[in-house]
């Protein structure tokens, strides 16, 4: 099972994003996690296409773009053009989820589907075949620095069971409150990719923090 770390640039110093990108490039993290928020689906506004495009120029690593926006299907082509490799949309935000996931794949990206803490794993049962990654939100989305919701561990296990039952090779990603104290448990529950914001960019040595998460 892979152990991929995807540092969340929502927790980086926005005045020095280039420095943050160089730090992650020098680490064992394989992905950049970019949270796009619209102030409607979630109560926060983060950044959009220009930042994704700029970071695409700063790295050859995977750009893991998480859309926390309403009607994400409107921007599939735009995020492809900006350089996204994975594009994740929320079950709760996409009325025609099957069509949206297909359009992401048709655009040449990998399609992710995210579940808020209150949304059951069964919500992705009918789209498992179109999903390259399932994102389990282990906090309520919108802000960094929240505490990990402990019941998310069981949810990760249930997601893993569903994907195995559907014969899906989709990765499982966990986002929210991830740190060195719980990383081992999350991986053990079945996660493949951990998103870490404050645990990386709030650390004195982000490169060492990433190493610690991988080896948890």
In the residue annotation, 192 being an active-site residue is answered as no
Q: Show the DSSP H helices in 43-137 as ranges.
A: 49-58, 76-82, 97-106
Residue 8 annotated as part of some ligand binding site: yes
Q: Show the DSSP H helices in 59-151 as ranges.
A: 76-82, 97-106
In the residue annotation, 35 being an active-site residue is answered as yes
Which helix (H) or strand (E) segment holds residue 32: the answer is: strand 31-37
Nearest Cα residue to 192 out of 148, 156, 167, 145: 156
Residue 145 annotated as part of some ligand binding site: yes
What does the alpha-carbon distance between residue 132 and residue 111 come to, in Å, rounded to a whole number?
Answer: 5
Choose the catalytic residue: 26, 35, 132, 161.
35
Take residue 160 and report the two structure tokens written for it. 């893993």
Q: Do 36 and 69 form a contact (C-beta atoms < 8 A)?
A: yes
Residue 176 annotated as part of some ligand binding site: yes
Choose the catalytic residue: 64, 132, 175, 192.
175
Residue 144 annotated as part of some ligand binding site: yes
Residue 177 annotated as part of some ligand binding site: yes
Residue with tokens 């969340």: 8
What does the alpha-carbon distance between residue 200 and residue 204 come to, in Å, rounded to a whole number?
Answer: 9
Take residue 129 and report the two structure tokens written for it. 């075949």
Residue 142 annotated as part of some ligand binding site: yes
- Active centre residues (catalytic): 35, 175
Annotated binding residues for substrate, written as ranges, equal 8, 66, 142-145, 175-177
Annotated binding residues for a divalent metal cation, written as ranges, equal 33, 35, 66, 175
Annotated binding residues, written as ranges, equal 8, 33, 35, 66, 142-145, 175-177
């Amino acid at each position: 099972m892979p152990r991929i770390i995807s540092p969340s640039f929502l927790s980086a110093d926005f005045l020095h994003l280039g420095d943050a990108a160089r730090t992650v490039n020098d680490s064992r993290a394989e992905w950049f996690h970019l949270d796009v928020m619209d102030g409607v689906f979630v109560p926060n506004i983060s950044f959009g296409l220009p930042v994704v495009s700029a970071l695409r120029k700063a790295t050859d690593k995977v750009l893991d773009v998480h859309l926390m926006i309403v009607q994400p299907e409107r921007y599939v082509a735009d995020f492809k053009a900006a350089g996204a490799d994975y594009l994740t949309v929320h079950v709760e935000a996409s009325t025609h989820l099957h069509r949206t996931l297909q359009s992401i794949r048709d655009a040449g990206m990998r399609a992710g589907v995210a579940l808020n803490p209150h949304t059951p794993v069964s919500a992705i049962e009918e789209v498992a075949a179109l999903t390259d990654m399932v994102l389990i939100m282990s906090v309520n989305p919108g802000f960094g620095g929240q505490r990990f919701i402990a019941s998310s561990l069981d949810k990760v296990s249930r997601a893993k069971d569903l994907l195995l039952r559907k014969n899906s090779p989709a990765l499982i990603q966990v986002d929210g409150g991830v740190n060195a104290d719980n990383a081992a448990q999350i991986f053990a529950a079945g996660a493949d990719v951990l998103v870490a914001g404050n645990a990386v960019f709030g650390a004195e040595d982000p490169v060492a923090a990433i190493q610690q998460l991988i080896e948890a």
